[in-house]
Amino acid sequence: MVGTREFSSPTSDRGPGANGDAPAGDAVGRLVGGRFRVDRVLGEGRHSPVYLAASMPLGRNVALRLVGAGVASEPALYDAFYAGVQAAGKLNHPALARVLDCGEEADGTLFLATEYVAGTSLRKLVEGADGVPMGAHRIAVVLHQVLSALAAAHDAGVVHRAISPDNILVVPSRTDDGAPTDLAKLCDLPMAALAELDDRGQCASGAFFRAGAARVRAASYLSPEQERGESVDARADLYALGAVLYELLTGAPPFADLDPAVRIVRRMTRAPSPPRGARGGGVDSTLARICLRALAPEPDGRYASAREMRHELRTLLVEDRSGRYVLRKNTSVAPAAAAPFVTSANTGSDPSGVSTVSLAAAAVTGRLERRAGERAGARGRARALASKRAKLRAELAAWTGPVACLAVLAAFITAAFVTAHPGTHDDASSASPASPGAEGAARNGPETQVLLPTNSAPSAVFDAVSPASIAAPDSGIAPRDSRLHAP
């Protein structure tokens, strides 16, 4: 499909806009490619506006994307556009929007016609556009289909690179038995090759870079390796889908409360905090675990493939007799999303197939689980405190033994000293100093007496008594008279 063509200068005047794009509304009523009549604007994508158009002469609705003339004037972007369209056109999966046609206008504008999906984007469902809660069942059913579509795309070597709540559409449907269910459609896959050049900044003229809210929103779902401009694989899509799941559970993408610059650094270095319900309630533990693993900053920390991630997600679901996936009985619905829709006047069932009675039971179950978790946390803190006290007691006991030994040793040394020198002990002079016992006089010789003033410092005792004044018992050597008299 890509042929040899002559490229004009990317800086040539092709109309309003930095890349030659005309305002989105200007294309309404235009006949594109001689067969697509543009009826109205559907939305603003990351790379170009998307229109609702009618394929003539059948009048079948299609989603028409008009890519500005700046792309056609850039060889790398032109080739990437057709390469992406060809790769996506070979895929046929029920959860992928089918490629129908593509071409180029005389003014250089490229167009792409894909299957029109009359559904609601996940972005609007998070905001409560259809009044149906995005409980655990509905989230699991939608993501299960998206992961199935990604597995097929990855098998063909196509990485989406731009997954966000804006390009995942949900269509209410029914099974063959009439049971309500949701059908999911992943869009924008043909733009994957252009997204790769956009992420790496490999467009020499910058003609394809678009500004606006759509591009700013898409940055919240880029993987860290895309932020760094590195080559990516299928795990980049799993990161983006993890960010979408985080928003479905909490109502906001990861790190949404931080400044943009800080947000980029956090995405590159760490996973976000565990998701909590939009109103502070709990979320399904399996969904939370899947979400955090998909949001690992390093690719090796994520799921190896979309099939592996889908396999863990299927632990939440079971297929009933009508072929519809329903939530397992032992799995609770996120109460923060379900509780506001449960009223005494509503006793029917919602379009997701979960009755309001089940929602009410799930809400009560969620509250009980939170209280049980709080009690378990309190018990854990009490055990930690008891362990700390026991550790302190053990340390005190460890110190008590040596101190007691030192006290015994000091008493033993004191007793030995007193035994060896009874003349210095108070008990030895308990008798009248003027008439010591005969035996004491014979053994110690002349009496040794130290007289100090009452106001003398205690150290004076040691200054007054010299070692020479103390003789060993029975040595036969009389101690030198060391009597001191108070002045």
Residue 404 within any structural domain of the chain:
no
Structure tokens at 410: 């000091």
Residue 144 contacts by C-beta under 8 Å, 6 or more apart in sequence? 310, 313, 314, 317, 325
pTM, 2 dp: 0.61
User: What pLDDT score does 325 carry?
Assistant: 65
Q: What was the pLDDT predicted at 131?
A: 56
pLDDT-derived band at 28 (thresholds 50, 70, 90) equals confident
Q: 374: pLDDT confidence band, cut at 50, 70 and 90? A: confident
Instruction: Look at residues 148, 182, 117 and name the one whose alpha carbon lies nearest to residue 354.
Output: 182
Q: Is residue 261 part of a domain?
A: yes
- pLDDT confidence of residue 36: 94
User: Quick one: pLDDT at residue 292?
Assistant: 94
Number of domains the chain contains: 1
Which pair of tokens denotes residue 476? 């036969």
Both ends of the chain: CA-CA distance in Å? Answer: 126
Q: Work out the pLDDT band at 393, boundaries 50, 70, 90.
A: confident
Q: What pLDDT shows up at residue 114?
A: 94
Q: What is the mean pLDDT of residues 240-249?
A: 94
Query: For position 238, what pLDDT does the model report?
Result: 97
pLDDT (0 to 100) of residue 301: 94
Average pLDDT, the chain: 74
Q: Which residue has the tokens 């007193």?
A: 418
Which range among 45-59, 70-84, 130-144, 322-336 shows the weakest confidence by mean pLDDT?
Answer: 322-336
Instruction: State the average pLDDT over residues 24-53.
Output: 84
The percentage of residues in the chain with a pLDDT greater than 90, rounded to a whole number, is 27
DSSP state of 349: B
Residue 140 to residue 119: CA distance in whole angstroms = 18
Residue from 8, 431, 17 nearest 209 by CA: 17
Residue 183 pLDDT grade (very low, low, confident, very high; cuts 50, 70, 90): very high
Query: What φ, ψ does residue 420 adopt, rounded to 5°?
Result: -75, -25
Domain for residue 388, yes or no? Answer: no
Question: Is there a domain that residue 10 lies in?
Answer: no
Domain assignment of residue 364, yes or no: no
Q: Is the pLDDT of residue 14 over 60?
A: no
Residue written as tokens 């997600």?
313
Position 101 scores a pLDDT of: 93
The helix/strand/coil state of 328 is coil
Separation of alpha carbons 91 and 187, rounded Å: 12
Three-state DSSP state, 65:
strand
Report in angstroms the alpha-carbon separations of 8 from 51, 213, 316, 328, 439.
Answer: 27, 30, 55, 59, 132
Provide the Cα torsion 312, 317, 319, 325; round to 10°. -110
Supply the pLDDT for residue 295.
95
Note the pLDDT of residue 241. Answer: 96
Q: What is the pLDDT of residue 208?
A: 45
Q: What is the pLDDT of residues 154-163, one digit of tens each?
A: 999 999 999 9
Q: Which of 16-20, 53-57, 304-308, 336-340 is the most confident on average? A: 304-308
Which residue, chain included where needed, has tokens 């410092």?
457
Between 63 and 46, whose confidence is greater?
A: 63
Residue with tokens 């042929």: 3
77-127 confidence digits (pLDDT tens): 888 888 999 999 999 999 999 999 999 888 888 899 999 999 999 998 888
Report the CATH number at residue 70.
Answer: 1.10.510.10
Burial of 117 from C-beta contacts in 10 A (0-12 / 13-18 / 19+): buried
**Between 242 and 433, the higher pLDDT residue:** 242
- Picking from 78-92, 369-383, 419-433, 462-476, which range would have the lowest pLDDT averaged per residue? 462-476
Residue 99's domain comprises 24-336
The pLDDT tens digits of the residues spanning 331-373 come to 544 444 333 333 333 333 343 333 444 445 555 565 666 677 7
Give every strand in the sheet of 168-174, ordered side by side. 120-121, 168-174, 180-186
- Output 258 or 237, whichever has higher pLDDT: 237
pLDDT score at 26: 76
In a domain, 436, yes or no: no
pLDDT tens figures, 306-342: 999 999 998 887 766 655 666 665 554 444 433 333 3
Comparing CA positions, the residue from 198, 234, 233, 202 lying closest to residue 218 is 198
Evaluate whether residue 137 is within a structural domain: yes
Q: Is residue 413 part of a domain?
A: no
460 Cβ neighbours under 8 A, 6+ residues apart: 452
Lowest-confidence range among 25-39, 280-294, 370-384? 370-384
Q: How confident is the model at residue 57 (pLDDT cuts 50, 70, 90)?
A: confident
